[in-house]
Chains A and B, each alone.
Chain A
Amino acid sequence: MAEFFSTYLPSWLAQLVTGLIQCVILLHVPLVGAMFFVWVERKAAARIQDRLGPTRVGGMFGWLQLLADGLKLLTKEDLRPQEADAMLFRLAPYVGFCASFTVFLALPFSDGWVVQWLDVGVFFILAVLGLEVFGVILAGWASASKWSLFGAMREAAQVVSYEVPLGMCVVVPVMIAGTMDLVAIGRMQEGLFTNWFIFHDPFTFVIFFVYFTCGIASVNRAPFDLAEAESELVAGFHTEYSGFRWLIFYMAEYGSMFIVSGLAAILFFGGWNGPIPLADLLGLTDANGELAGYLGRFLGMLNFVFKSVLGVTVMIWVRWTVPRLRIDQVMTMCLKYCTPIAAVMFLGATLWTYTFPGGVTGLRGTPYGTVRGVSAQRVELSDLTPATEDAEGAAGEGSDNKPAEEHAGDVAAAAADGEAAAASTPSGPLSIATFASSRARSR
């Protein structure tokens, strides 16, 4: 696109325009997504409650309801309490929304379809998702309302606590994959659905449910929606908000819901890989031309979106079914159940991958599944000398001046420091697989 614009504009302006267009497109993913989820929520809630939900706006099924709602909210008066800290009160919704929106930068929608391909994708997503709480706390504090403050402090306590088990749960698939790169993790789960990490071992199976519980808690959905518990705190942290700013909070919430279930889809349910490798069976791969590869990825994106929407739907379902927990019960749940279970499962998964490095069934080609475009190599202590030979290939031109992270070598190099390895695992294999990928971007 930049090339197209550069025929009319100076190149820097062309690049700027291209970037802005892409930003706007990306911005629409959470926005339209939030619209869709609000509609889904209203319809699902209505069905659960024996109602019809919106039926009129937009012809059938009220699918334009949120647009109407949004227009209504935009025309509402933007209220601010007299005592409020004006600047923070105005900024707080955007802080939350920015955090939620930024995560979409690192979330791959299909094989290689990611805005910013990060080597630390999982880490980045968890970190940025954790920043959403700032918006809530600032909103609660700046409102100068006791109910808002209650909501903010509850949110703070809850999010800080739940980040621990959430992180532990996420670490398990990362450990199995050996990388924090979400694209690589997704690629490892190619093939049949048995390759999905949730079926990798019993521990990942359990930990998915822990993850989902913690995920619901970290995005403040019922039964963990203490920060906005309407029967206790009026509306919690957004009691004093109206109109557009309130809408922003709402969008951030739905964005986070999508992110949490999207992350679950990638980490546990194969991401964009369907239960059967349909794209491969239909020949929609890069090998059959660019268009076929594009179509295959598009199919993958549908897969991913479907799985994420399914996760969001489950959250909606849970919300309209169960009562809300109390603050001490939420903390008990986190500290007494989720954290220990996650820790034990983490240990179990570690031992499992150590005991069955190639998986129990041995169906996977490489120790950690087939990885397209990423070569994995398992290095054991006895391979120390050959490993140096492999490393030879990695030494590309100009490597004298570049550290390893700059290397575009396609061979993984890993070796063990003799002393360290001997200290940790005297006789067993030292499973360090490094993925230095050619990273030919398939976008």
Chain B
Amino acid sequence: MDAINWHTFFFLLFSLVACAFAIAVVLSSNIVRMAFYLILSLAATSGLFFLAGADFVGAMQLMIYVGGTLVLLIFGVMLTNQGPYTMLKSRGDSWLLGVVAGVGLLALLTYTALGVRDWMGPTEEQLAETQLAFAQPSATATPIGNALLGIRVDKLNGGNEPDAQQQVLQGGMSGYLLPFEIVSVHLLVVLIGAAHLARTKKRSDTRST
């Protein structure tokens, strides 16, 4: 035993960090600390993404997901100065419900994940090929960009025969142009909607403040 599979090593590292801090989020009741743990968990998950060869998604996770949590953190900080909202202790019954449901779900998911033999990893014959695949830097940004424009470079490369490629070209490449457009419009709507919801309002305040 003198060989370490470094992919496994880093997988273990990142997954332990991600899971440990996810559990810490659950156990903590200080909102700022929760946000901090969540950030670490999400950052470790982005490490898992990089490890799995999804560079673009990993960077995106860091930029958008973790960046989005920043706003949560800021809200936490803002509310913290308001006294009692830092520590809202969970109730016992919700703990019971949550843990029961959670453990059941975890058992189900674990059973499912471990149920398929092929998912347990590459076979002995595929080992060398796997090492090679992970040794190369993954170039995912351009294919993803093209896919979002509706061009599936990976599918074009998929077949050896020109016939297959023609087939792909003619049969449509199942790109993501339409979802991309929908998401962009959706984001715009969300932007306006959130700004509208959170904007300065005038209203008659009947309660004594």
Contacts and interface: CB of A to CB of B under 8 A. Distances in A.
Interface of A: 10-13, 15-16, 85, 87-88, 91, 117-120, 123-124, 126-128, 130-131, 133-134, 137-138, 140-142, 149, 152-153, 156, 160, 163, 178-181, 384, 387-389, 391-392, 394-395, 398-400, 402-409, 413-420, 424, 432, 434-437, 439
A312 B172 CA distance: 51
A130 B66 CA distance: 9
B56 interface: yes
B43 A131 contact: yes
A399 B158 contact: yes
B77 A404 contact: no
Most chain B beta carbons < 10 A, residue from A15, A406, A432, A435: A406
B19 interface: no
Nearest to A180: B141
5 contacts: A127-B63, A131-B62, A141-B32, A406-B133, A407-B157
A12 B2 CA distance: 6
A282 to B, nearest CB: 30
B138 A405 contact: yes
Contacts of B133: 402, 406
A399 B157 contact: yes
Nearest to B71: A160
B59 A127 contact: yes
A413 B56 contact: no
A13 B3 CA distance: 9
Given A120-B141, A179-B141, A392 B162 contact: yes
Given A10-B2, A138-B36, A414-B153, A405 B143 contact: yes
Interface in B1-27: 2-4, 6
Nearest to B151: A417
Given A10-B2, A85-B33, A179-B142, A404 B153 contact: yes
A434 B146 contact: yes
Interface in B50-92: 53, 55-56, 58-60, 62-63, 66-67, 70-71, 73-74, 77-78, 80-81
Contact of A417 (B2, B4, B172): B172
B159 A413 contact: no
Nearest to A439: B137
Given A124-B59, A160-B70, A405 B154 contact: yes
Given A12-B2, A134-B39, A413-B156, 11 more contacts: A12-B4, A16-B4, A85-B30, A88-B32, A124-B55, A128-B62, A134-B73, A137-B70, A141-B32, A388-B162, A420-B151
Contacts of B2: 10-13
A123 B162 contact: no
Given A127-B62, A399-B160, A149 B154 contact: no
Contacts, number: 180
Contacts of A434: 142-143, 146, 153
B56 A120 contact: yes
Contact of A391 (B4, B81, B149, B157): B157
Contact of B151 (A403, A415, A435): A415
A118 B137 contact: yes
Interface in B192-209: none
B59 A120 contact: yes
A334 B4 CA distance: 49
Nearest to A16: B4
Contacts of B33: 85, 87-88
A130 B67 CA distance: 8
Given A11-B2, A388-B169, A405 B140 contact: yes
Interface string B128-152: 0100010011111111001001110
A173 to B, nearest CB: 15
A75 to B, nearest CB: 30
B156 A391 contact: yes
A15 B4 contact: yes
Nearest to A384: B169
Nearest to B74: A156
B6 A15 contact: yes
A403 B80 CA distance: 48
Given A117-B137, A118-B137, A398-B129, A137 B3 contact: no
Given A126-B63, A388-B156, A137 B142 contact: no
Contacts of B58: 120, 124
Contacts of A406: 53, 133, 136, 138
B151 A416 contact: yes
Nearest to A163: B67
A180 B137 CA distance: 13
A395 B138 contact: no
B199 to A, nearest CB: 16
B99 interface: no
Contacts of A156: 70, 74, 77
A419 B151 CA distance: 10
B184 interface: no
B113 interface: no
Please provide the 6 A-B residue pairs with the shortest distance between their CB atoms, ordered closest to farther.
A404-B154, A420-B150, A127-B63, A12-B4, A10-B2, A127-B62
A134 B74 CA distance: 10
A151 B71 CA distance: 16
A112 to B, nearest CB: 12
Nearest to A134: B39
B60 A388 contact: no
Given A133-B70, A388-B169, A420-B149, A123 B157 contact: no
Interface string B156-173: 111110100110010011
A85 B65 CA distance: 25
